[in-house]
Amino acid sequence: MTLLEALTAARQRIDRLDARLLLQHATGCSHADLLARPETPVSAPAGEQFMAWVERRATGEPLAYIVGEAEFRGRVFQVSPAVLIPRPETEVLIDLALERLNGRTAPRILDLGTGSGIVAISLALECPAATIVAVDVEKGAISVARNNAGRLGAQIDIRQGDWFAPLAGETFDLIVSNPPYVAEGDPHLTRDGLPFEPRLALSDGDAGGDGLACIRHIVATAADHLNPGGWLLFEHGYDQGAASRNLLTAAGFKTAFTHPDLAGIARVSGGHL
């Protein structure tokens, strides 16, 4: 079997781009190799791996889980079914955080529900003077985050626990979070690859709720762990901006705002003490 034959067979089952990316991962070839030398033979082990991956992709399993990695903010992060797949809209959370850290010489930052660590690691690498603590309740996520921090050279204190539980008496200049916010029972949870992602990281599990249970807890507790003037920023669903601002204002945060992502969708809300 040649590169072209493998690609042609895969395209009958899955998307053209997915087929190419999986073939590149399985064989180590580049896109240029596929274009210039499509007659190159594929070894038997690589061919078997590729076709197994094609079958998995055909069932709807996300590409990132199949190859075990995903790119975010120009860096490659390890991912597994224990963590959410990085999404480009989360870059807005990091950009807003960096803006609010401007002028602070040695800020303390807390990332709640760190997952694969993309937010904490990005902030650590782009604000090297910061001290960063990252928390997640899941052992599998903690393992992935620690591996990513080590591979990318980010100095982060990663702890296992439920939200603020492992942070007694500690305060920060900035708290960031990408918490679960999809309402339990939302039909989106059954499509677009979401059934393969950890439900605990997607939804608060509150049957009949509005998806805001985790955000309510974070907003209500954050002030106890923020220094004077400290900021809280969190990601949320497209229709949760107004509710998020109301929660922030009720909890005593000032200048509560909602910021859109690059698609113009309400994505991050926040405020300061």
Percent of the chain with pLDDT over 90: 88
Q: Checking DSSP bridges between strand 108-112 and strand 131-136, what pairing results, if any?
A: parallel
At a CB cut-off of 8 Å and minimum separation 6, what does 251 contact?
A: 219, 220, 222, 223
Going across the sheet that includes 266-272, the strands are 157-160, 131-136, 108-112, 172-177, 226-235, 266-272, 254-260
**Whole-angstrom Cα distance, residue 201 to residue 203?**
6
- Residue pair 3/29 in contact by the 8 Å Cβ criterion: yes
What is the pLDDT, as a whole number, of residue 191?
A: 80
State the pLDDT at residue 204. Answer: 82
Handedness of CA 19, 22, 28, 30 (dihedral sign): positive
pLDDT of residue 192: 78
Q: State the average pLDDT for the chain.
A: 94
Query: What tokens does 198 get?
Result: 């950890």
| Residue 261 neighbours by CB distance under 10 Å | 18
The reported pTM is: 0.91
Q: What is the pLDDT of residues 69-124, one digit of tens each?
A: 999 999 999 999 999 999 999 999 999 999 999 888 899 999 999 999 999 999 99
Per-residue model confidence (pLDDT) at position 77: 98
Task: Give residue-wise pLDDT tens across range 154-197.
Answer: 999 999 999 999 999 999 999 999 999 988 888 888 887 888 99
pLDDT by residue (tens digit) across 23-38? 999 999 999 988 999 9
Query: What pLDDT, on the 0 to 100 scale, is given for residue 51?
Result: 96
103-118 confidence digits (pLDDT tens): 888 999 999 999 999 9
**CA–CA separation, 47 and 68 (whole Å):** 18
Provide the pairing of β-strand 254-260 with 172-177: unpaired
Q: d(Cα 144, Cα 163) in Å, to the nearest integer?
A: 18
* Burial of 106 from C-beta contacts in 10 A (0-12 / 13-18 / 19+): exposed
Residue 210 · residue 266 · CB < 8 Å: no
Q: What digits encode the pLDDT tens for the residues 192-238?
A: 788 899 898 998 888 878 999 999 999 999 999 999 999 999 999 99
> What tokens appear for 190 in the block?
């059954």
Report the pLDDT value the prediction gives residue 103, as an integer from 0 to 100: 80
pLDDT band at 126 (very low <50, low <70, confident <90, very high): very high
